[in-house]
A and B are shown apart, each in its own frame.
Chain A
Amino acid sequence: MLDKFGIAKRIAKELQDGYYVNLGIGIPTLVANYVPQGIEVILQSENGLLGIGPFPFEEDVDADLINAGKQTVTTTKGSSFFDSAMSFGMIRSGRVDLTVLGAMEVADNGDIANWKIPGKMVKGMGGAMDLVASAKNIIVAMQHVNKAGESKLLGQCSLPITGLGCVKKVVTELGVFDITPEGFKCIEYAPGVSLDYIKEKTLGRLVIADDVKEMSID
């Protein structure tokens, strides 16, 4: 079974040289730490930065330079700044190659719910609805089950939807799942996790790929 760093490491293997990538808050942000050697990816921050660099040294902290999680960051060589309309313009017009998001629920048809729990304080969708409606490749990074032990991979989302039929792949602590017309297709299982256990923890339609294999993350 993977921890959150393992999930991030596995998703990093999806990165390709020259990709423009938007990473959501939480586990997705960790993906930036595991970009494979020898490839260059440009990180997009929807508040108006292409080319997010590492956190600044203490003396370089700049209140005018933050990421979408409102953390202080730096630029990289070749960075650019832009306004919020252009930021979502590059997302909407399909220029961003890969979007990695967290989720509360994913359905076996690719629907995603990640912005609202009825009855609890609603904080808002931020850029999530724009991202899921437009990104050409969306990978969800999340725990397979919620705190109550219930599957987050469902036949149908029970929480308010963020976007329809948009998720392409889900990576959890248990495995890697492609969204296919047959539902979640398990293509890899995490070390030490049995396919039976994955079946038990997956409520949506699940098929096992013929060439399913153990995940390698290093």
Chain B
Amino acid sequence: MLNKVVKNAEEAIKDIQDGATIMLGGFGLCGIPENSISALVKKGVKNLTCISNNAGVDDFGIGLMLKTRQVKKMIASYVGENAEFERQLLSGELEVELIPQGTLATRCMAAGYGMPAIYTPAGVGTEVAEGKETRVFDGKTYLMEHAFKSDYAIVKAWKGDTHGNLIFRATSRNFNPLMAMAGKITIVEVEELVQPGELDPDMIHTPGIYVNRIFKGENYEKRIEQITITKRS
């Protein structure tokens, strides 16, 4: 019998060791695995390599793990919202690899599809291309980019069942289903955990085969970076 359900974030991440490479879903603070990040901070694992589109803000998201100096290397596409990040980067305490956002997504996808590498035009002629193999297809130059290898992928879904089938909500989907497919071990936190059969199979974004551990998260803050509203006239 499938048994993927764990009690909480602490249990889900308990075997993550110092030096692990971890993918973390989310775009900005939207769709990040809040419970698991808190548990990683509490556990205090160090020298982590984190693959995530962004690095959180000073006091939320991956920023919490930067503050406690748990991150050795950050692989991301955009990191500009975090003063502590900047300080560690400039002082050399933190290693950073910046890669184009589509390349980041597609390197996750390649891992989940069992393909060793992909070709993309993003970054051709720029410093991103330095040292990378290129190939010309139909007269256009492409860079070869390798699939990510990561020990764990930690993602946040809206709903999931105990088999690990997942449904994401609105733009909190972003990198989550891609990373869910790409981890050697995939850990999922959901807002709502239901029994098999309760989710419509046609509506599943990530089939449970990709998921190793799932738990119902709690106390989601869902912080918003930029609240922009239309005033009623």
The 4 lowest CB-CB distance pairs between A and B, nearest first, are A88-B102, A123-B80, A130-B102, A63-B222
- The residues in B between 113 and 131 inclusive whose CB is less than 8 angstroms from any CB of A are 120-128
Complex alpha-carbon distance, A61 and B89, angstroms = 34
B70 — which chain A residues lie within 8 A by C-beta? none
CB pair A58–B128 under 8 Å, yes or no, is no
Can you show 19 pairs from A to B with CB atoms below 8 A apart? A46-B101, A63-B29, A64-B222, A70-B226, A72-B226, A82-B173, A83-B105, A83-B174, A84-B53, A84-B105, A123-B80, A125-B128, A127-B102, A129-B128, A130-B102, A130-B120, A133-B123, A163-B126, A164-B125
Number of interface residues of B (CB under 8 A): 57
Also in contact, A127 and B170, with CB within 8 A (given A47-B27, A161-B126): no
Indicate if A124 sits at the interface (CB-CB under 8 A).
yes
**In the complex, are the beta carbons of A130 and B125 less than 8 A apart?**
no
- Cβ of A31 to closest chain B Cβ, rounded Å: 16
Does any Cβ of B come within 8 Å of A57's Cβ?
A: yes
Contact in complex: A61, B100 (CB < 8 Å): no
Question: Which residues of chain B from 172 to 196 have a CB within 8 Å of any chain A CB?
Answer: 172-178
Which of B80, B120, B125 meets A161, CB within 8 Å? B125
Residues of chain B within 8 A of A61, CB atoms compared: 224, 227, 229
The answer to whether A48 and B171 have CB atoms under 8 Å apart is yes
**B residues in contact (CB < 8 Å) with A:** 27-31, 53, 76-80, 86, 89-90, 98, 100-106, 108-109, 120-128, 158, 168-178, 205, 222-232
Check B102 against A57 for contact (C-beta < 8 Å): no
CB distance from B180 to the nearest CB of A (A): 10
Shortest Cβ gap from A137 to chain B (Å): 16
Do B230 and A55 have beta carbons less than 8 Å apart? yes
Q: Which of A26-44 contact B (CB under 8 A)?
A: none
Docked complex Cα distance between A92 and B173 (Å): 20
Q: Verify B224–A92 contact, CB threshold 8 A.
A: no
Would A125 and B105 count as touching, CB distance under 8 A?
A: no
